[in-house]
Copies of this chain bind each other. A is one copy, B any other.
Amino acid sequence: MDNFELSGNIEQAQNFLESIKNGRFLFSFVISYTETCEVPGITFAGADKNSIKFTPPADAEYLHYGYCKSIDKIPMTPDGKPTPGVLTKTALESSSISHLTINAGSKVVPQLPFIETGLPSGKNISEQDAMTDSIVSHAVDYGRIVGRNLASLTDCLIIGESIPGGTTTALSTLRGLGFDAKVSSSIPNNPVELKNQIVSSALERIDSDHPYSIVAKIGDPMIPFVAGMLSSASAVSKVMLAGGTQMTAVLAFASKIGFNEENAAIGTTTYITNDQSANFNSLVEKIADIPAISVDPGMKNSQFPGLKAFSEGFAKEGVGAGGCIISSMLKSGYDSSKFLEMTEKEYHRLSTSQ
**Residues on A facing B (Cβ under 8 Å):** 24, 26, 64, 98, 100, 102-103, 109, 112-118, 142, 145-146, 149, 152-154
- Copies, count: 2
Given A113-B142, A115-B113, are A100 and B149 neighbors across the interface (CB < 8 Å)? yes
Asked if A98 and B64 sit within 8 Å, CB to CB, the answer is no
What are the residues of chain B within 8 A of A114 when measuring CB–CB?
Answer: 115-116
Can you list 15 A-B contacts with CB-CB less than 8 angstroms, sorted by A residue number? A24-B153, A26-B153, A64-B145, A98-B149, A102-B113, A109-B118, A113-B116, A113-B117, A113-B142, A113-B145, A113-B149, A114-B116, A115-B116, A153-B153, A153-B154
Q: Is the CB of A112 within 8 A of B145?
A: yes
Contact of A98 among B98, B112, B142, B153 (CB under 8 A): B153
Which chain B residues border A118 with CB–CB below 8 Å?
A: 109
Interface centre among A26, A103, A116, A117 (most CB of B within 10 A): A116
Determine the chain B residues whose CB is within 8 A of the CB of A152 once the complex forms: 98
Known: A112-B145, A113-B116. 20 other contacts (CB 8 A): A26-B153, A64-B145, A98-B149, A98-B152, A98-B153, A100-B149, A102-B113, A109-B116, A109-B118, A112-B142, A113-B115, A113-B142, A113-B145, A113-B146, A113-B149, A114-B115, A115-B115, A115-B116, A116-B116, A153-B153
Residue of B nearest to A154 (CB): B153
Cα A145 to Cα B100 in complex, Å, equals 10
User: When chains A and B are docked, how far (Å) is the Cα of A354 from the Cα of B237?
Assistant: 35
Residue on B nearest A111 in the bound complex, by CB: B118
Kindly state the separation between the CA atoms of A114 and B102 in the bound complex, as whole angstroms: 10
Chain B neighbourhood of A24, CB < 8 A: 153
- Alpha-carbon separation in the docked complex, A112 to B118 (Å): 9
Cβ–Cβ < 8 Å partners of A112 in chain B: 142, 145
Query: Which B residue's beta carbon lies closest to that of A100?
Result: B149
Q: How far is the CA of A98 from the CA of B149 in the complex (A)?
A: 7
In the complex the two chains form, what is the Cα distance from A153 to B146 in whole Å? 15
